[in-house]
């Protein structure tokens, strides 16, 4: 903990803040149907266990890379 950055209570203890993540309701269209299909799993990411997020991102990365390699516009 960095006392210059982290908030401290008057008792000298770190302030306990609850983390709240605001997820987008939907993914904004890229105007490229193939890309939109590849990134569609982002809409369900809040319901996927954090331990599985890397697999979702890997799936999208590989899909986007394949789409680029295929010469899609």
Nearest to 48 by CA among 60, 63, 34, 37: 60
The pLDDT-based confidence of 69 (bands split at 50, 70, 90) is very high
SS3 category, 69 = helix
* pLDDT number for residue 27: 80
Nearest to 60 by CA among 42, 44, 48: 42
* pLDDT number for residue 28: 85
Digit-coded pLDDT (tens) for 30-61: 999 999 999 999 988 888 999 999 999 999 99
User: Domain boundaries in the chain?
Assistant: 33-69
* pLDDT number for residue 57: 95
Q: What are the backbone angles phi and psi of residue 14, rounded to the nearest 5°?
A: -60, 145
* pLDDT number for residue 52: 95
């Amino acid at each position: 903990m960095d006392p210059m950055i982290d908030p401290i209570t008057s008792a000298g203890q770190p302030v306990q803040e609850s983390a709240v993540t605001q997820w987008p309701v939907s993914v904004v269209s890229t105007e490229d149907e193939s890309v939109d299909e590849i990134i569609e799993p982002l809409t369900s990411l809040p319901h996927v266990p954090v331990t599985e997020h890397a697999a979702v991102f890997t799936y999208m990365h590989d899909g986007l890379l394949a789409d680029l390699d295929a010469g899609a516009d």
